[in-house]
Amino acid sequence: MDLILWRHAEAQEHPDPLAGLPGDAADMARRLTARGEKQAARMASWLDRQLPDGARIWCSPAQRCEQTALALGRKYKLRAEIAPDADPLALLELVQWPMGRSPVVVVGHQPTLGRVVARLLHLADPECPVKKGAVWWLRHRERSSVEQTVVVTVQTPELV
């Protein structure tokens, strides 16, 4: 199974950075900046060339994630399991890791995506930094009766 974790591109700051919380109404309404729109378009262009037609796409209901997913030009579904500050285990259950049959793209947030990366790669730190607009492409495989998670690629909008 392939799991493609795509962090939303650069977004506007929370209008109330001192009192605002991840997932509150103002946070959910944050939109991409002009730079973020360019990041999303660049990464979407690269990703569209790599993804098979049958890939499923799950997206956080936050506006900035939906804008990022829209750049890909494919059908996607909004899911609360990917909202800001989501539980990494809920995300993995949603995508049916590691037994899902088709590749899955998840358009989401930090720290959730970084926690998924850290968990699947057995990193010492429970959270891995994921740059805005970046894609982490992970693959589950079995070799010699040993299950493995391998990194297929990590791409940032600046490098594609």
Question: What pLDDT was estimated at residue 22?
Answer: 86
pLDDT band for position 15 (50/70/90)?
confident
Residue 20 pLDDT > 90? no
Residue 18 pLDDT > 90? no
Phi, psi of 58 (to 5 degrees): -110, 140
145: which residues sit within 8 A by CB, 6+ positions away? none
HSE (side-chain half, CA atoms, 13 Å) at 18 = 0
33 within 8 A of 40, measured Cβ to Cβ:
no
| Residue 117 to residue 122: CA distance in whole angstroms | 8
What residue ranges define each of the domains in the chain, with the CATH number in brackets? 2-159 (3.40.50.1240)
Return the beta strands (E) in 1-134 as ranges: 2-7, 56-59, 77-78, 104-108
pLDDT band for position 17 (50/70/90)?
confident
- Average pLDDT along the chain: 95
Question: What pLDDT was estimated at residue 16?
Answer: 84
Rounded average pLDDT over 120-127:
96
